[in-house]
Structure formats: C-alpha cells, structure tokens
Amino acid sequence: MRLSLFMNNFNSTFKSQVVFLLTFASSLFCGVLLFLLGVFCYANSVQQFRSDWDKWRLIGNLVLNPLMFLVGIPLGRFLLRVLPPDPLGKIRWKSLLFFSLLTLLFLMPLMFIVLQGVSPAIFYGIPYCAWTCGIIIPPLVRHLKPRSFLQSPFTLFLRSFSTFSDRVLINLILSESPSGKPVVYLTPPKSKTGDWNPFSIGFAGLKLKHPFRSIPIILQADDKEWQPVADELIKHANLILIDLSNTSEAIKFEISLIRKAGRCTDTFGLLEQGQVLDTSVEKEFTGCQIPLLIYKRSWYRSAFELLVSLTIILPMTIVVFISPLVIILKLHFNNSLQQVFGTIGLIFVLILGAYVFITNFMRPSIENKFKKLLHAILCDG
C-alpha cells in the first residue's frame, strides 16, 4: 500500500517536472525567437542605410525608426504574456522591477555606442532606442494602469484553456478585430507547451494603426479571483465571444454570469463544426438566446504558416536549442567526453526541439467563410 502510494506520488511529481521542462523550453524558444527577429531587423536595416547615411538621412529617420518601434512590440507582447498585469488593479512591483532592469540591460549597448564614439552614434542609437521602446513601453504602461482598458470599448473572449480555440481561434479574433479596439482574455496561471506559438503571441492582430491600443489585454487570475474578474469583464465588455466547443464548469459559470448581467444580446457563441452543444450548456442558456456561429478547421488555410514554419522557424528552433549545448560542452568537457555527451545531448535537444515545434506550429487554421463572418461581427460590435 505504501509502495503503491509512493509510486503514484513519484509518477505525479515526475510528470509535472517533465511538463514544466517542456513548457519552459517552449516559452524560452518563443522569447528568444522574437528577440532574434528584432536583432536581425536592426542589423539589416542599419546596414542598408550605413553606406550613404548623408544621402538617406531623412528617409532613414522616417522609415527606420518607426519600423524598429513596430519590430519591438512583439517582444513586448511576449513579456506581457509571461508577466500579465493584475486584473484587480494591484500593481505588481516585482514585474515593474523586472521591466526596469530589462530596460537598463537593453540600454547598455547604447551606452557603449556613445562612449566608444561609433560614427554616426545617432544613426545607430535612435533606431535601437525605438526598438527598446517598442519592447518596454507596452508592459510598463499596462502594469502601471492595469484597469484603464475598462473605460474604452473592448471585445471579451471566453474559452477553455489550452484548446484549439485558445491556440488558433483566438488568432483569428485578434486579426479581425478593428484597429484600436483590444481583445481581452484571461490566461491560466500555468500554461502548457503548445501555448507559446510566437506567431500568436507576437504578431496576431498587430495593427499599423494604433499599434498600442490594438495589443490584446492579457489578464491572469488564480482560482480564487477569476470568477469576480470574469463577472466584471462581462459587465464592461462591448462584445462577448464565448467558445462552446469544449465545455467545462468554468464555461457554464461564465454563461450564468452573462445571463444574470443581461448581456445575451451582446454575446455570440462559437462552436466547432461536428461538435454537439452540451445539454447542460443549453440549460444554462435558458431564457438567454444568443446567435451560434459554426467554424470549421482548415489545413489548406494554414499552408502558408506551415511553409514559413518549416523553412524559417524549424532551422531557428534547431539553432536555439543546439547552441547552448555546444557552449556547455566546450566549457565543461574535454575532447574525449565532448563526443559522448555531445551525442546524447544532441539527441535529447533534437527531440525536445521537435516536440516544441510540433506542438506549437503543426495545427490547422479556420476556413475563410467564418473569417469574413467574424470580421463583420467584430467591426459592427
């Protein structure tokens, strides 16, 4: 009996540690990828104008600086996903301290440029500052004013965590939302491996017009706080979208909040084709008739993203996971041990990278017919 209990506890602990490792690797990969994208854009953009800066000075300032600012926003969105603001309005000082230290870290290369007199220092420094501002300003502003979004129109998206709607449908909602009207959604305290797609976190719904106001409002509440938070969001939302494909007690509770708040006329239900609406959910909707929108998965529409993932993201995934292994082997092992541990480590890293890649990128999209319907609803809402 004791042995059985011990084995069950051991298996549970081991499984949780493996899940933590995979999730950490996935989130780290997402952040590093968005960071490398910024470095690549900065280096290439600077190189384009460096040869004849005097001739292209005006165009360089008008094009390069706004471009680098926009390139920084995806990494800023990643930071908001990792450290979201408090939904009850409390300022999370640890997060603000982290962002402040990160700002100083990003400004260190700028100080080097100025002190070393790299010519022209302004040419290198201003685009770098623009990139840094795009990274740091969104999380700083959101944490200093965590509830300011309640004063403006927003769309609320309710769904079950770590499902198809949480990983794919939300991208479509973000991209089809009008500029300047953010989408608000809650995230779980503990995410899973497939929740860290850099396309979704960094670029879904990124708008050239009002890029700040179009950044999604990501909130995180624990098990004790999420119910009053959901109630407040439902009462203030301009439009409510709730996915009913994966029913849970949380979804049923949110439906009851919608009904009690009298927000049925501002709510649209979303259901995947082939799924049947749960009878317990139908009971919750008693006296609250809402339109039901049916969406269908489509591998054809995800072909472009899969192509980009296979040709660009997959090689970068291998580089991101193998580079630390190479550095560790060279620093801590001699030549005879490098081959042994290198082979073992390479197999492990390739399996880990492949798993992270498959769970984050190998998934279908949603058919275009539903996309047009959703766009019309979001723009009219």
Q: What are 150's two structure tokens?
A: 């309640």
Structural domain ending residue among the three candidates 254, 278, 300: 300
Count of positions (residues) in the chain: 381
pLDDT higher for 343 or 235? Answer: 235
CA distance 244 to 282: 10
- 272 and 198 share a domain? yes
Q: 33 and 125: one domain?
A: yes
Q: Residue 222, Cβ neighbours under 10 Å: how many?
A: 9
Is residue 8 situated within a structural domain? no
Same domain, 157 and 127: no
* Model pLDDT, residue 352: 74
Grouping H, G, I as helix, E, B as strand and the rest as coil, residue 345 is: helix
| Residue 331, domain extent | 303-361
Q: Is residue 252 part of a domain?
A: yes
pLDDT of residue 266: 92
Using alpha carbons, list the distances in angstroms from residue 154 to 3, 10, 71, 198, 270.
Answer: 54, 45, 24, 23, 18
Q: What is the mean pLDDT of residues 108-127?
A: 68
Is residue 283 scored above 80 in pLDDT?
Answer: no
CATH code at 215? 3.40.50.450
Domain membership flag for residue 369? no
Amino acid at 275: Q
Are both 218 and 187 inside the same structural domain? yes
> 244 and 169 share a domain?
yes
pLDDT at 115: 67
In this predicted structure, the answer to whether residue 112 has a pLDDT above a threshold of 90 is no
List, for residues 332-348, the tens digit of each pLDDT value: 666 666 566 667 767 77
Q: Is 378 a domain residue?
A: no
* Residue 379 covered by a domain: no
Whether 366 is in a domain gets the answer: no
Least confident of 20-34, 294-308, 330-344: 330-344
Across residues 110-137, what is the average pLDDT?
A: 75
Of 312 and 138, the one with more pLDDT:
138
Q: Which residues contact 172 (CB under 8 A, 6 or more apart)?
A: 365, 366, 370, 371, 374
- CA 196 to CA 23: how far, in whole Å? 8
Q: For residues 317 and 287, state if they share a domain.
A: no
Q: Are residues 91 and 186 in the same domain?
A: no
Looking at 87, 119, 146, the residue that finishes a domain is 146
Domain check: are 30 and 59 in the same one? yes
Are residue 293 and residue 183 in the same domain, yes or no? yes
- Do 104 and 173 lie in one domain? The reply is no
CA–chain centroid gap for 291, Å, is 29
Bigger pLDDT: 308 or 193?
193
For residue 115, the one-letter residue type is L
Q: How many domains does the chain have?
A: 3
Of 300, 333, 348, the residue at which a domain comes to its end is 300
Q: Are residues 142 and 26 in the same domain?
A: yes
**Residue 162 to residues 40, 58, 168: CA-CA distances in angstroms?**
31, 47, 10
Q: pLDDT-based confidence at 108, cuts 50/70/90?
A: confident
Verify cis geometry, omega within 30 degrees of 0, for the bond prior to 153: no
3 lies in a domain? no
The verdict on 34 and 109 lying in the same domain is: yes
Least confident interval from 74-83, 95-104, 131-140, 284-293: 284-293
Higher pLDDT residue, 315 or 128?
Answer: 128
List the single range of 40-49, 176-185, 203-212 with lowest mean pLDDT: 40-49
Q: How far apart are CA 292 and CA 278, in angstroms?
A: 13
In a domain, 328, yes or no: yes
Does residue 17 have a pLDDT over 90? no
